Every structure is written in C-alpha cells, then in structure tokens.
Amino acid sequence: MTTRQPIVAAITGAGSGIGRAVALELAGKGVRLALSDVDEASLDTTRVRAEARGAETRTRVVDVADRASVAAWAQDTVGHFGVVNQLYNIAGVAGGGRRLVDVTYEDIERVLDINLWGVIHGTKEFLPHLIASCKGTLVNVSSLNGFLAQPSLAPYCASKFAVRTRFYNEKLFRTTAEQAARTIVDGVAAGQARILVGSDAKQVDAIVRLAPARAIRRAVSFERLMTQRRG
C-alpha cells in the first residue's frame, strides 16, 4: 500500500489577515506549511499558532516585490520539503484612497510592486514546482476592486487590491479573515477555478458581468458616498 504524502502549501502574507487565517485553516487539515511575510514577528506568531495545531512549518522573511527574495524562498521550500503542491499568493498592501492626480509615482510603484509583481514573482518561481508535483494548485487572492473600479483607487484597482476604509469594513465587507480562509481552502479542495468570497463579491461580479455600464455609474455614485462619509 502506498502511503499518501501530506500536501505542502506555500503562503505569502502569512503574518496577518487572510494569509494567517489560510495558514491556520490548512494547519488543521494536516498540511505542511512554508510561510512567508515581510514582518518577522508577525510571521513567528503565525508559526507558533500553526504548530499548535500540529502542522510542520518552515518560515522565511520574504519581500514579494523582490524577485530574488521570492526565488530564494522557493528554492528553500523545495529543498526542505522536497515538493510544493499549493501556492497561495496573498501578500498585499492597501495604501491610501486618493485621486490619481494626487498619487505619486512612488505610491503607484509600491502598490504594483507588491500586489501585482509579488503575484507574478510567486507564480513564476513556484510554477515549475507546482507542475512537478503533478497536482499543483495556484491561488491568487484579489478583491472586490478586482471586479469594480473606483475613481480614487486607480493604482489599487490596477493591482486588484482594495483600500479598506472604516466604511468599507463596517458596512460592506462583513466576511472575516477566518471565513474567507475557509471559503478559499474549501474551494481549492473542490477544484474550483474561481472562488468568490462573500455575498458582496458575488453581487458585484454579477453586476459587472450583466451590466458593465451600470456598474461604472454605481461605482462613481458609491465613491461620492464614501467621500461624504469620510468627510
């Protein structure tokens, strides 16, 4: 009888939020974890909590915007575990919600370097190993603003990562990191090619697909409402 080997999952942004929640969700399922984050202290907290759930872990401080850093992490992960079955590109930054005319090139570059190039770096460096595993899974986490653009979030929408103000969190995004992690992990297990987290994401996705022009008008109206509430 052939003994089934535990799955090995690599996670970026594992030090907090959805990244940490996904790590803990997988830890409870017996998955071996390669965890990375730019914040060493937060990463270590995730490691301790994952190991408390019985998971084997390996951590590394990684700046996903730095291709060499991601490449070194991928090699270290394969060297330690021998295989990588899953990659979760979750690391991201929010930044501030400002009009494009007020955003500096440095602001734009920082967001794109982390939220876009971070995903590209992770995908490129781990993809050969995912393919070699014969059952590889790649998960790239986006946001509602990956579906629907808002006037003051141009760089962030471009990088598919939303800026969350207090109004966003309290009125719209009711899904917790733990709920999101459970949906993501269950979706991966079910072989879903596209996973929508929360009813808000499903509603926005449906509106954009069925009535794109209407969706743009609603985005503008929503942006005005947010500006009034912030004021």
In the chain, where the domains are located: 8-230
Q: Looking at 88, 105, 156, 168, which residue is catalytic?
A: 156
Question: d(Cα 158, Cα 161) in Å, to the nearest integer?
Answer: 8
- Residue 182 sits at φ, ψ, to 5 deg, of -65, -40
Under 8 Å between Cβ of 78 and 58: no
When pLDDT is cut at 50, 70 and 90, the band that residue 4 belongs to is confident
Residue pLDDT, tens place only, 148-177 = 444 444 444 545 433 336 434 444 455 677
When pLDDT is cut at 50, 70 and 90, the band that residue 179 belongs to is confident
Under 8 Å between Cβ of 127 and 142: no
Q: Where is mean pLDDT largest: 50-64, 100-114, 136-150? A: 50-64
- Provide CATH code, domain 8-230: 3.40.50.720
| Encoded tokens for 219 | 């985005």
Q: Identify the helix (H) or strand (E) that includes residue 8.
A: strand 8-11
For 168, which DSSP code? I
pLDDT at residue 2 greater than cutoff 90: no
pTM, two decimal places: 0.69
For 146, which DSSP code? G
Tell which residue, 117, 65, 86, has the closest CA to residue 185. Answer: 86
Tell me how crowded residue 143 is: count the other CB atoms within 10 A of its CB.
22
Under 8 Å between Cβ of 119 and 89: yes
156 as an active site residue: the answer is yes
| pLDDT (average), residues 210-217 | 52
Q: Where is mean pLDDT largest: 77-81, 95-99, 199-203? A: 77-81
